Amino acid sequence: MDLNTVTAIHPARSRSDLAALGEGVAPLAGGSWLFSERQDHLTALVDLMGLRWESLVPGDEGLEVAATCTFAELAAMPSRGDWPAHPLFYQCCTALLGSFKVWNVATVGGNVCASLPAGPMTSLFSSLDAEALVWRADGSDERVPVARFVTGNGTNVLGPGDVLRSFHVPTSSLEARSAYRKIALSPLGRSGAVIVGLLRTDDSFLLTVSGATVRPEQLRFDALPGAEELAARVGAIDSWFTDPHGAADWRRSVSTALALEILNELGLPPGESPLSDYTTERYVPETSAAGGDEGEAR
């Protein structure tokens, strides 16, 4: 879509060029969302792609992912034998039901900054206990856990002139065993719930609930919990929401079911898969699926 109120695009070459950001001036990365609807409040854009941040930087302490890294780049990241959690990167990318054209321009930072409940990069980086590096407008830097970066449906911790620079994924998360579940009301529908479990090498367990809640919810345990304890903790979450893609009670029910599947999977020896195929049909109330669509997809 043409943005008829935008009269200038300023390419950023250094951090000092970001001083142009402010009222009526927004950062531009891939633009897959920015150009998808009217932005009548904007008069100019600052193009972050000119900063040429390196998309993926592995190191001894983990992985640094630039905010301007595209979905395509992240999904194609070569696997590493010492990172058992590597499949999560591709799995979460597939939760964005976009064409290859979208994958080649949409950025991971833009997805998190949109702060939509179904944002797959919010699911990915919060489940990996990643931190977001924020360049504040006053010139300072701040690291914020991604699980706290998103504060609600479409809201986050960024202020006017702030820019999301990158994500840091710690080695302890990359070395963890992971399990991923996604469900939607239709085969190609927006995520109704995205649940990720991490079992770290010290046997601690992290379950992250997203897609079904207005912000990511993290449940931490010193070891794998029992099924009743896990179900109770998931059920106690109070940030479920209702929209055309799913009712709050449905989201709570399927999130509990998927969390128990993850518990079952991670409770098995490494490399061994559950014997039965996954199903959540018994957890879907007949009257709670908004819009009446009883289909599902993962």
pLDDT of residue 293: 36
- The answer to whether 180 touches 86, Cβ cutoff 8 Å, is no
Question: Is the pLDDT score of 296 beyond 70?
Answer: no
- Provide, rounded to the nearest whole percent, the portion of the chain with pLDDT above 70: 90
Mean of the per-residue pLDDT values of the chain: 90
E-assigned strands of the chain?
8-11, 25-28, 44-47, 56-59, 62-66, 131-135, 141-145, 150-152, 155-156, 163-170, 177-183, 193-199, 205-210, 217-221
Amino acid at position 217, single letter: E
pLDDT of residue 156: 98
* pLDDT tens sequence across 37-83: 899 999 999 999 999 999 999 999 999 999 999 999 999 999 988 99
From CA 2, how far away is CA 40, in angstroms rounded? Answer: 11
* pLDDT tens sequence across 231-266: 999 999 999 999 999 999 999 999 999 999 999 999
From CA 89, how far away is CA 283, in angstroms rounded? Answer: 28
CATH class of the domain comprising 56-172: alpha beta
Question: Is the pLDDT score of 91 beyond 80?
Answer: yes
CATH class of the domain comprising 176-292: alpha beta
Question: Is the pLDDT score of 287 beyond 50?
Answer: no
From CA 170, how far away is CA 203, in angstroms rounded? Answer: 16
From CA 108, how far away is CA 70, in angstroms rounded? Answer: 6
pLDDT of residue 1: 64
pLDDT of residue 273: 58
Q: Which segments of the chain belong to CATH 3.30.465.10?
A: 56-172
* pLDDT tens sequence across 97-147: 778 889 999 999 999 999 999 999 999 999 999 999 999 999 999 999 999
From CA 32, how far away is CA 92, in angstroms rounded? Answer: 18
What are the tokens at 150? 């998103």
Q: Which segments of the chain belong to CATH 3.30.390.50?
A: 176-292
Please choose, from the candidates 52, 15, 51, 46, the residue with its C-alpha nearest in 3D space to the C-alpha of residue 31. Answer: 46
- DSSP-derived pairing of the beta strands 141-145 and 56-59: unpaired
Q: Name the residue with higher pLDDT: 266 or 189.
A: 266
